[in-house]
Amino acid sequence: MSKGSPGPTPGFLVWRLANKWRVAVDRAVAPLGLTHAQYSLVASLYGMQRAGERPSQRRLADHTGLEALYVSKLARTLESAGLIERARDPRDPRAVQLALTEQGLDVTRHAIDVVHDLLRQLLEPLGGLDAPRTRAFSDELTTLLDAPLAPPVPNDERTKGTSP
């Protein structure tokens, strides 16, 4: 809580909602052999492939907001499970391109359906997937995601006397 706020801060609420969502997705996709992070990677890759892309690990990292090293680790695990293929980019030998295998496509389609059902449940209190409140909520989240964040500067007057 902040000093001037009687209730939880927006940051705390975002954190709680993100954790609630992650746990729910983890539980929902576990029977398919996926974690939430793996689901985020294969679902994003699925959308990019449908748009005609064969993205590099770096491009997928940028798209998902995950660290490139983490995407590489996830990709290796998913490759071992037979869900994705990793191949050197012919235009850049340092880059690795990713693509879903046939098995990966099947698992991903099923996982997307499962997570979509969860999303309907989550957004029901706002009126459902296509409700004006849901669109407004998505717009607000997009605004926050687009806002740059920088770590505090040591010895900045605004942070003096506070602990990290």
Residue with tokens 């037979």: 82
**pTM for the complete prediction?**
0.84
Q: What is the pLDDT of residues 102-113, one digit of tens each?
A: 999 999 999 999
Beta bridge partners of 88: 96
In 3D space, the residue among 69, 78, 76, 67 whose CA is nearest the CA of residue 39 turns out to be 78
Query: pLDDT band at residue 91, thresholds of 50, 70 and 90?
Result: confident
Report how far residue 16's alpha carbon sits from residue 152's, in angstroms, rounded to the nearest whole number. 23
pLDDT over 90 (residue 151): no
Q: What is the pLDDT of residues 64-83, one digit of tens each?
A: 999 999 999 999 999 999 99
pLDDT over 70 (residue 145): yes
Cα of 113 vs its chain's centroid, Å:
16
